[in-house]
Amino acid sequence: MTFSFIEEILKNRFTGFLKMSELFYDSRSLPKTRGIYLVLYLADKSPEFMTIGTGGHFKGKDPNIAIAELKKNWVDDAIVVYIGKAGKEGSSATLQSRLRQYFSFGKGGNVGHWGGRYIWQLRNSNELVVCWKELPEDDPRTVEADLIKKFITRYGKRPFANLSD
């Protein structure tokens, strides 16, 4: 997968493809199973970054970073800006619960979803698109790590908002 075209993401059995703004309003369509999800930047223009984003201050930590750092992390030619996971063996986390946490953090909530926080410094982050792949049998951590490795192999760095393994 090159992480550049919706068609290839569809071929890899991702579903959903809903704007964040839609999911902020109604997240009931998110599966109550474990899996992985992608956040996609589909705009035809270069991203605009905000000095102060919408992300919450979890445990008093400021989620915002310098615009220069955001620009440095941006990956041209990739529509995938974040790869996330939900659930593991023995965990009750689902795509629905994990993404609800993520959205709550993005709306300023004091929620423990520190990963992917760069997303919230993108102007119009509510226009980003989220898709997911249910993994009832596979370990989402393994699948997420494999996708991130493939992304790094292709682009020489992680997706924009993926900060660590």
What's the pLDDT tens digit per position in 92-144?
789 999 999 888 888 888 776 667 899 999 999 999 999 999 998 899 999 99
CA distances from 26 to 22, 70, 96, 103, 120 (A): 6, 29, 11, 11, 19
Query: In this structure, is residue 161 part of a structural domain?
Result: no
Predicted confidence at residue 108, as pLDDT, reads: 84
The answer to whether residues 99 and 19 touch, using CB atoms and an 8 Å cutoff, is no
Residues spanned by the domain of 87:
6-155
Predicted confidence at residue 133, as pLDDT, reads: 97
Q: Which two tokens stand for residue 130?
A: 């989220």
Residue 161: count other Cβ atoms within 10 Å of its Cβ. Answer: 24
Query: In this structure, is residue 127 part of a structural domain?
Result: yes
Give percent of the chain with pLDDT exceeding 90: 74
Q: What is the DSSP letter of 122?
A: B
Helix and strand tally (H, E) in the chain? 5, 4
Predicted confidence at residue 113, as pLDDT, reads: 65
**Average pLDDT for 74-95:** 89
Domain count of the fold of the chain: 1
Q: What letters, b where the CB count within 10 A reaches 16 and e where it falls short, cover 93-120? A: ebbbbbbbbbbbbbeebebebebbbbbb
Predicted confidence at residue 110, as pLDDT, reads: 79
Query: In this structure, is residue 107 part of a structural domain?
Result: yes
Q: Which two tokens stand for residue 25?
A: 């309003």
Predicted confidence at residue 157, as pLDDT, reads: 96
**Coil, helix or strand at residue 71:** helix
Mean pLDDT of the chain: 92
Predicted confidence band at 90 (pLDDT cuts at 50, 70, 90)?
Answer: low
Q: Rounded to the nearest 5°, which phi and psi values hold at 116? A: 75, 15
Query: In this structure, is residue 101 part of a structural domain?
Result: yes
Query: In this structure, is residue 76 part of a structural domain?
Result: yes
Q: Which two tokens stand for residue 20?
A: 């964040």
**Coil, helix or strand at residue 117:** helix
Query: In this structure, is residue 165 part of a structural domain?
Result: no
Length of the chain: 165
